[in-house]
Structure 1
Amino acid sequence: MCLLMVPVVSLLGLWGYATVSTAQDVAHLRQLQRADAEVRGPVDTAIAALQAERVAAVRYATVPAPDRGGELERQAGRTDRAVAKLRRGEGRTVADGADLPTGVASRLETFVSEAEGLRTVRTDVLDRRTGWDAAYGQYTKTISAAFGVGGTLTGIQDAELGSDARVLLEFSRAAEMLAREDVVLASARLHGSLDGERLRQFTGAVDTRRSLTEAAVADLRGPERAAWQDLVEGSAYADVRAVEDKVLVAPPGRKAADAAPAAKWDSAHAAVRDEMRAIDVGAGRSAADRADPFTRGLLTPAGAAVLLGLLAVAASLVISVRIGRGLVVELVSLRNGALEIARHKLPHAMRRLRAGEEIDIHAEAPPGPPAEDETGQVYEALGTVHRAALHAAIERAELASGISGVFVNLARRSQVLVHRQLSLLDSMERRADDPNELSDLFRLDHLTTRMRRHAESLIILSGAAPGRAWRLPVSLTNVVRAAVSEVEDYARVEVRQLPSAAVVGTAVADLTHLLAELVENAAQFSPPHTKVRVNGEPVGNGYALEIEDRGLGMGAETLAEANLRIEQSEALDLFDSDQLGLFVVSRLAARHGVKVHLRTSPYGGTTAVVLLPTALLQSTTRESPGAHTMERDREQDGHARVPDAAPMNGTSVPAPAARPALAPSTETAVPPPPGVTALRLHKPPETEPDSAPEPADDLPRRVRQASLAPQLRERHTDDAAGSVSVREDTERSPEEVRDRMAAYREGWARGGGRRPGIVGAVPDIAGPAPASDSTEGDHA
């Protein structure tokens, strides 16, 4: 369109220039017409009225008489009406606001003011307080001001029209000189003599009239010049010139006055005056016709250029639009086709391939007929690109499917090995007597549990489901503890007391994995001396868990990108291996309708909010499944474990994943008192195998399975395979030990001592906690 519009715009610019120039000419001509109709015509009428009033005033001032006074008043009324047509309000004239030059308005204001000031002169003449000469001078001055307005109007016209206006002005001045001659002669006849000032005025008027007539007649156009020639050749004009000559050669006084008899002069003067006014009016009308905007502005070469230019522009636009429209339709169709491929067809095909469906390339991008022009060839090339992209997508989907299958196969194998390793570790832990060995076994058990989670992450990213599953609901507290136990820095995690809730068995494994990923991120990206706190509460749409760290936090852009990555569960970026945990969280959250949102913590770190929908929760009025349920589900998992119960009220979660929770937790169970101190590991004495060990330093020693419910303890004796019998602590139960240690701690705090920090806490039902990977020896 730009290529087509360049010549059209150029032509349009030329046409616009011609149109503007012609419009300016037309506007100027309309201005001249308005000036002629609103200013020049009324001024000429006022001049004629003033000339007649001047004659009446001079006659009355020379020889007063009642009939001459009445004539003066009638002429004065006529003059006032003519002048009133030039006035518009107080201090304004018809030239104000007419878009005329400033000189026209000012001179017209001067003339109107002087004409309105003649009221005083009339009063003085009627009251016989002034003579003829004063009256004659005042009226003549006012008429000269009117001719000044006409002179200013000639300056706003072009050369040709200005010449016509100058001729009209000169001819009008010649008529004024003839009127002055008549006034002077009328006054001289009444006075009885023509001498002195009267003779001087008459002589000057005759000379001026003849000079102006000769100058003006030379520039008159055809009709006006012919009318003037008829006037000159007539008897009236000859009589006027004869009287003028007689008066000029006669001696001053009565003889000069008698040289211009009234009968001869009045008739000749009236005829010449009327003819000159007719010539003046005709010349003015001819000038106005030549200034007509339609005739002079449009019916000219410039007007023809405007009209022809308009036709050319219209034809160019029609041709350009028809050609351009065809091109635009083709280009729009090409663009829409490309956008349809890029925005709908390819993404839809990719989604189908990711969903495992098969697509037919020829059905998705059928080849079209051979192209005939360049646009069709481009569209054909787009189709080729579309088919090539589909080929590449299919190959990529097949490759991804193969890679996912390999990953799942390897992960399943690793998962089986890890389960077998966990089972072996569990057997070794049960047989171990040395506390140091047991601690190392616990550490190895914890590392193996993390390996199992990583293997499950690989299975989840490959699109398959992990092997662990539970049939019955599990307490949300146990799920959170299980997730914490799968984190390397589990000792830094504090699980606040959670309101009772249970998770349906089908979501336990996935929810544990999801929480473990978030907790591990919080622990990895926060200083080692800080705590990671987990708390939660029921909300209107389910149950909200918050995992808060006190690290350096994330920037606004990074936080938004992470939340977007969690929301888009299908957008897996294999090249961003540092964020695979977020992809795992995204897949698991999408699978169960869990909402995960990261936000800035008030402490400067990051808070992960996990909203569990109501569909994943189950009422906890009944006893939640404990070890008996876990043991029944172990066949599905191979080595399914739930970590030891963590102490509440802000204490650390101590137990590794290797210790199975074998005691059932009920809704009516009394929570352990805050601040339970971890028990020190001791090797039970080899003597007296059937009795519980004596406490050392007033502290209990660890006896394996002593904290289990009596009905869950293994009561077999040593057999050929080397299994070890479990001995019950008949002297002090774990509950008594817990109460005593809690009493020690609370008493220490009430006595003014600092509440001791807890590095690790004793599990309430599953035995002691081992040292973490970064800690050697016993827990304090």
Structure 2
Amino acid sequence: MRVPRPTDRLRPRSVRAKIISLLLLPIVSLMALWGFAAVTTASSIGATERAKDVNSELLTPVSDFVTALQAERTAVLRSTAAPDAYATARKATDSTAKALLDGINVSSTDAALLDASLPGRLDRLASDADGLTALRADATARSSKPSATYTSYTAVIEHGFAVMGALTDDDGTDAASEARVVLELARAREAVAREQALLGAGAARGTLTQEQYAQFVGAVATQRELLRPAVADLKAVHRTAYEDILDGDAYARVQGIENRVSSAGAGASAVSSGFLKGWDTAVSDVLAGMTAAETEAGTGATAQADPFGWDTLGASGVAVVLGLVGVLLSLLVSVLVGRGLIVELLDLRNDALEVAGRRLPQAMRKLHAGQGVDIDAEAPMRRLAGDELAQVGTALTAVQRAALKAASERAELLSGISGVYVSLARRSQVLLHRQLDLLEAMQRRQQDTAERHDLYRVDYLATRMRRHSESLLILSGIAPGRGWRDPIPLSDVLRAAVAEIESASRVQIWAVPRVSLAGGSVADVIHLLAELVENAAAFSPPSTQVQLRAARMRDGGVLIEVEDSGFGMKEDALAEANRKIESEKVDLLDAKQIGLFVVNRLRERQGLRVELRTSPNGGVTAAVHIPESLLRDDMPVAEQTAQSRGLAPASALIPQQRGEGR
């Protein structure tokens, strides 16, 4: 016996659930992969959107503010020589400062999500933008020093670079180059702007101080250290603009002047008109080109990025689309295939249940009833074609045909056996009737008591043989030849039943109700009781007696009990015997306990109820209930004499009825 496992409860029970579970697992796995790709793509789209927002709200305003402040720094240091340029630079810085403050106000609530230090850096830069008036007042005061002005403006610009540095950790877009590289290029541009401001301040005063010279040399070194390595790290599409600047005449002129000033050292010669010839034009062109290239590689590329474009979606977008198509196709195929498979299996199950529950039993009943069955009509043969399920259906049909064929052959065999039973029984009956008539004549002539007793014993054997012969007719469904037209007292019926067994002296008949049995039922009741009494005598010790009782029932009818003193029967054997008595079908090929089948036929024909049960003394009691419809209260005239009460040995009654009822 298989021990159930805890996981058995989790297993699907029905075929539908098993198929759905089988098809659902790959679909769920595919949907999980598609969901992962969809989430990744959505995350890329969200990152691009966030980068565009950060770019438009912070990076672009900060970059523009830093660029304008760099120009204002140069202009304020040369304001005495070019006041108009300073006024123009101030207007540009004010415009970018306003845009910067608007962007900070819009993104201030989300700044901490981008970088923990960003809110503080933004507040400092906003404070610098608000303090431009004071910064300018200090720069244009008569007592102001160029070095202090340069340092103040440079500090504000560094605050702008601090904000840009905090934003480099945010995910950019695939359209822009890496934020770190763009920031290095911005610092390289700041170094060039510092060079321009320092030389402009020196040219305005006619001499380059030692501090300005040192700052100039440091700016040149920073610019040359950052520019070319950062350009090499740019995307190819953005690198071209910087390479054009580096290979251009303006940058070459700037490098030449940087070299001459560095070689000349501090003093008036370094900022003389001969040394700085073409400097303003060349450095302005280089700064303008670097600003444009920086915008193209950074903020400009981010602003033009399409969240739903190929650069953003790329392979993940294709995976999402193809995954969605795959999921839909998988669902469609799974539904179609699963539904078709479920329908085929359910049809196959229904066909099998139809065959097992209705068609095959109905055909069997026809065969047991002696009716013919057309096997081709009941189970038409199918061709072995199609898939495995179709072949299973064909196999079921073949099994049904084999069962019908076997049942038909069995029915034919039983019919033949029944015919043999009838033929043998008829022949035996003729001979037995002649033998009984001869024995009766010999009993009348014989005067010797011992001889007459032997003749009685032979008579008993012949009577038993006649009963066995009648059993063959009963099993074949034919009524025996014996019969009575008039009602017979129940007491005579019991005596006649006892008279048909060999050990009649072992049977005790108790007081019998004064009722008669309908003549048409007498022969069958005698035969039935004889089978039960003989069975009780055979399965109990020879020294014991079989009790035969009869009693009128309150709810109608008579109950007759045949009780032996044997060893009894087990519960399963008793149940099997009662099943054979009550069964609607009688198997003529079952040679065991054939007397129970005879009782079955007689019970069914007369409408009796027969049951075997355990008796109080350990043996078996056979209870026979005769319905009221078979009883008559009027007693024949010959039976109006008083009947004995108490125990009456059957052996004393047998000789008195030996000539009756044959």
TM-score normalised by structure 1 residue count: 0.49
Paired with 2:656 and 2:55, the residues of 1 have a C-alpha distance of 127
The alignment status of 1:571 with 2:586, answered yes or no, reads yes
Q: For residue 348 of structure 1, report the CA deviation from its aligned partner.
A: 4.4
The alignment status of 1:658 with 2:654, answered yes or no, reads yes
Corresponding residue for residue 415 of structure 1: 433
Q: Classify 1:517/1:82 alpha carbon distance in 2 versus 1 (closer, same or farther; 3 Å).
A: same
Q: For residue 586 of structure 1, report the CA deviation from its aligned partner.
A: 2.1
Q: Is the 8 A contact 1:482 1:512 kept in 2?
A: yes
The alignment status of 1:287 with 2:311, answered yes or no, reads yes
Q: Is the 8 A contact 1:469 1:508 kept in 2?
A: yes
Q: For residue 544 of structure 1, report the CA deviation from its aligned partner.
A: 4.9
Paired with 2:411 and 2:180, the residues of 1 have a C-alpha distance of 101
Query: What amino acid does structure 2 have at the position aligned with 1:566?
Result: I
Q: Is the 8 A contact 2:41 2:313 kept in 1?
A: no
Match of 2:182 among 156, 175, 181: 175
Q: Classify 1:529/1:132 alpha carbon distance in 2 versus 1 (closer, same or farther; 3 Å).
A: farther
Q: Encode CA deviations 1:212-254: one digit per residue, 9 max, x unaligned.
A: 432444xx4xxx47xx646754799987898799789977999
Superposition map of 1:160-559 within 5 A: 170-181=177-188, 207-208=225-226, 210-217=228-235, 220=236, 224=237, 229=240, 233=244, 268=289, 270-277=291-298, 278-279=300-301, 285-288=309-312, 290-291=314-315, 293=317, 348=366, 351-352=369-370, 397=415, 400-401=418-419, 404-418=422-436, 420-422=438-440, 425=443, 446-447=460-461, 449-476=463-490, 478-490=492-504, 502-527=516-541, 538=553, 543-549=558-564, 551-554=567-570, 556=572, 558-559=573-574
Q: For residue 582 of structure 1, report the CA deviation from its aligned partner.
A: 1.8
Query: What amino acid does structure 1 have at the position aligned with 2:44?
Result: D
Q: For residue 607 of structure 1, report the CA deviation from its aligned partner.
A: 4.8
SS, match of residue 610 in structure 2: strand
Paired with 1:496 and 1:260, the residues of 2 have a C-alpha distance of 150
Paired with 2:613 and 2:219, the residues of 1 have a C-alpha distance of 108
Paired with 2:220 and 2:107, the residues of 1 have a C-alpha distance of 24
Q: Classify 1:405/1:71 alpha carbon distance in 2 versus 1 (closer, same or farther; 3 Å).
A: closer
Match of 1:143 among 155, 167, 170: 167
Q: Classify 1:198/1:655 alpha carbon distance in 2 versus 1 (closer, same or farther; 3 Å).
A: farther
Q: Classify 1:345/1:144 alpha carbon distance in 2 versus 1 (closer, same or farther; 3 Å).
A: closer
Q: Is the 8 A contact 1:237 1:268 kept in 2?
A: no
Paired with 2:102 and 2:417, the residues of 1 have a C-alpha distance of 118
Q: Is the 8 A contact 2:513 2:552 kept in 1?
A: yes
Q: For residue 514 of structure 1, report the CA deviation from its aligned partner.
A: 0.7
Q: Is the 8 A contact 2:367 2:407 kept in 1?
A: no
Identity score, percent = 24
Superposition map of 1:607-622 within 5 A: 607-618=621-632, 620=633, 622=634
Q: Classify 1:402/1:532 alpha carbon distance in 2 versus 1 (closer, same or farther; 3 Å).
A: closer
Query: What amino acid does structure 2 have at the position aligned with 1:571?
Result: V
Q: Is the 8 A contact 2:490 2:515 kept in 1?
A: yes
Query: What amino acid does structure 2 have at the position aligned with 1:518?
Result: L
Q: For residue 38 of structure 1, report the CA deviation from its aligned partner.
A: 1.7
Q: For residue 345 of structure 1, report the CA deviation from its aligned partner.
A: 7.3
Query: What amino acid does structure 2 have at the position aligned with 1:272?
Result: A
Paired with 1:495 and 1:127, the residues of 2 have a C-alpha distance of 133
Paired with 2:539 and 2:159, the residues of 1 have a C-alpha distance of 113
SS, match of residue 291 in structure 1: helix
SS, match of residue 537 in structure 2: helix
Corresponding residue for residue 42 of structure 2: 34
Q: Is the 8 A contact 1:495 1:533 kept in 2?
A: yes
Q: Is the 8 A contact 2:421 2:472 kept in 1?
A: no
Q: Encode CA deviations 1:538-563: one digit per residue, 9 max, x unaligned.
A: 3768555454555341463x555544
Query: What amino acid does structure 2 have at the position aligned with 1:412?
Result: V
Paired with 2:259 and 2:544, the residues of 1 have a C-alpha distance of 131
Q: Encode CA deviations 1:717-772: one digit per residue, 9 max, x unaligned.
A: xxxxxxxxxxxxxxxxxxxxxxxxxxxxxxxxxxxxxxxxxxxxxxxxxxxxxxxx
Paired with 1:491 and 1:117, the residues of 2 have a C-alpha distance of 126
Q: For residue 37 of structure 1, report the CA deviation from its aligned partner.
A: 0.3
Q: For residue 507 of structure 1, report the CA deviation from its aligned partner.
A: 0.6
Query: What amino acid does structure 1 have at the position aligned with 2:569?
Result: G
Corresponding residue for residue 669 of structure 1: none
Paired with 1:248 and 1:657, the residues of 2 have a C-alpha distance of 158
Query: What amino acid does structure 2 have at the position aligned with 1:46?
Result: V
Pairwise CA RMSD of aligned residues?
Answer: 6.7
Q: Classify 1:41/1:583 alpha carbon distance in 2 versus 1 (closer, same or farther; 3 Å).
A: same
Q: For residue 601 of structure 1, report the CA deviation from its aligned partner.
A: 6.3
Q: Is the 8 A contact 2:484 2:520 kept in 1?
A: yes
Q: Is the 8 A contact 1:236 1:272 kept in 2?
A: no
- Which ranges in structure 2 are unaligned for 5 or more consecutive residues? 1-25, 77-89, 132-154, 202-210, 345-350, 386-394
Q: Encode CA deviations 1:641-694: one digit per residue, 9 max, x unaligned.
A: xxx9683xxx685436624379xxxxxxxxxxxxxxxxxxxxxxxxxxxxxxxx
TM-score normalised by structure 2 residue count: 0.56
Q: For residue 42 of structure 1, report the CA deviation from its aligned partner.
A: 1.4
Q: Encode CA deviations 1:589-608: one digit per residue, 9 max, x unaligned.
A: 22222343445668765554
SS, match of residue 573 in structure 1: coil
SS, match of residue 178 in structure 1: helix
SS, match of residue 469 in structure 1: coil
Q: Encode CA deviations 1:349-389: one digit per residue, 9 max, x unaligned.
A: 77447xxxxx9x9xx7999xxx9x999xx99xx99x99999
Query: What amino acid does structure 1 have at the position aligned with 2:431?
Result: R
Corresponding residue for residue 77 of structure 1: 105
SS, match of residue 593 in structure 2: helix
SS, match of residue 468 in structure 1: coil
Corresponding residue for residue 625 of structure 1: 636
More helix by share: 2
Query: What amino acid does structure 1 have at the position aligned with 2:54?
Result: A
Question: Aligned residue pairs: how many?
Answer: 527
Q: For residue 504 of structure 1, report the CA deviation from its aligned partner.
A: 1.7
Q: For residue 585 of structure 1, report the CA deviation from its aligned partner.
A: 1.2
Q: Is the 8 A contact 2:509 2:548 kept in 1?
A: yes
Q: Classify 1:194/1:523 alpha carbon distance in 2 versus 1 (closer, same or farther; 3 Å).
A: farther
Q: Encode CA deviations 1:692-733: one digit per residue, 9 max, x unaligned.
A: xxxxxxxxxxxxxxxxxxxxxxxxxxxxxxxxxxxxxxxxxx
Paired with 1:170 and 1:443, the residues of 2 have a C-alpha distance of 127
